[in-house]
Amino acid sequence: MEVLMEEFEDTRERLWTDMITYQPYNLIVFKDLTAERFKVEDRRKCLGLEHSLLVMEGVARFHAMSRILLDRGLFPATDLKKYISLRPRKDLFNYIWANPLKHVAKEIKQWGNEWYTIFFPMVDVGTRLFQYVDGLYEKLNDAYEVDERRFNVINHGDLWTCNLMFKYGSGSNIDRPIAIRFIDFQMSFYNTAAWDLTYFICTSLVPSYRRKYERILLVRYVDCFNYNLDLYKYEGARLKLESLESEMKRLELLRVLLLSLTYPIMTTDLKAFDWNVAFEGGCGINLALYQGERGAQLRKSIGPDLKRYLKSRLG
């Protein structure tokens, strides 16, 4: 990507940091970005609109550059197709998704009559899905498949608050993010951009902003994506907002899983997940996240989204 920037005299800041050294399978050392006033935001508070718009600009640029390099044959798309971290073997799927969902569904049923009445379709659908894990596994497998008719890119693969570093202005703009760096590319894979965008929006955006501003974020993404294709004189097609929105809708089942399981884990101050329990066939997730005052807050954070997505996607 640096070569591409040099080729077109792109003098913008890079989206990544310098690697100092590495030892295969053992060690990797990067330049310390804190010396340049970059920092990671608090994952528990999630990101506001200004930060999220900057993320859209950065990831759109990264995706656009990857699309150009893919067309030049400089990225191994064939190899990267199989590296979606959310696509485990069926036994691991049960440990990571199905078993925890069964326990979470039971907690949701305890959220009171108002919740049960409003979200009865969700509880019913959730219970049905948990009883037929094979069906859920196949539905997700369909979403994982790469369709070359779509606008595919190299996804970051783990695009959430803790893998983003922001630089801030000075003086009166000290709280304003002005630059971004992506870190931890070890889970990158080849598929549509909707994977990165869905993952980020569901795990890292303030819930009320997620519901209110998602289309604004997607518009910013598409505009920046196409701007970068123009900048690098890409001769292929341009991305249309309608196509991206269609892809986002196609991944709504992924949203349900991310909001139900991943978001609560990523935004809590509790010890949220125990792999030993999960691999023994238990829940794995700390169910205290769904109980008491924490459960009441979580209900506000994910409830409206679950209702909308499950009704539209699952019936």
Q: In order along the chain (315 residues), what is the average pLDDT of each group of 10 residues?
A: 92 90 85 90 97 98 96 80 65 83 80 53 46 67 86 95 94 89 91 96 97 98 98 95 96 90 95 92 92 91 82 57
Is 191:84 a contact under the CB 8 Å cutoff?
Answer: yes
Q: Tell whether 98 is covered by a domain.
A: yes
Is 279:93 a contact under the CB 8 Å cutoff?
Answer: no
Whole-structure pTM value: 0.91
Choose one of 210, 239, 268: the last residue of a domain: 239
**Shared domain check, 141 and 212:** no
**Shared domain check, 175 and 70:** yes
**Shared domain check, 159 and 64:** yes
Choose one of 239, 268, 285: the last residue of a domain: 239
**Shared domain check, 157 and 75:** yes
Query: Which pLDDT score is estimated for 313?
Result: 54
**Shared domain check, 164 and 67:** yes
**Shared domain check, 174 and 155:** yes
Choose one of 206, 239, 272: the last residue of a domain: 239
Q: Tell whether 25 is covered by a domain.
A: yes
281: how many CB neighbours lie within 10 A of its CB? 10
Query: Which pLDDT score is estimated for 307?
Result: 75
Domain count, the chain: 2
**Shared domain check, 155 and 137:** no
**Secondary structure (3-state) at 112:** coil
Is 169:37 a contact under the CB 8 Å cutoff?
Answer: no
Range of the domain at 104: 87-145+251-315
Q: Tell whether 246 is covered by a domain.
A: no
Q: Tell whether 244 is covered by a domain.
A: no
Number of residues in the chain:
315
Is 62:156 a contact under the CB 8 Å cutoff?
Answer: yes
Q: Tell whether 211 is covered by a domain.
A: yes
Instruction: Tell me the DSSP string of 124-165.
Output: HHHHHHHHTHHHHHHHHHHHHS--TTS-EEEE-S--SGGGEE
Q: Tell whether 224 is covered by a domain.
A: yes
**Shared domain check, 109 and 235:** no
Quote the tokens at residue 300.
């506000």
Q: Tell whether 245 is covered by a domain.
A: no
Tell which residue, 271, 260, 284, 259, has the closest CA to residue 95: 284
**Shared domain check, 164 and 73:** yes
Q: Tell whether 221 is covered by a domain.
A: yes
**Shared domain check, 92 and 72:** no
Query: Which pLDDT score is estimated for 138?
Result: 80
As a whole number of Å, the end-to-end CA separation of the chain is: 43
**Shared domain check, 72 and 98:** no
**Shared domain check, 257 and 229:** no
Query: Which pLDDT score is estimated for 4?
Result: 93
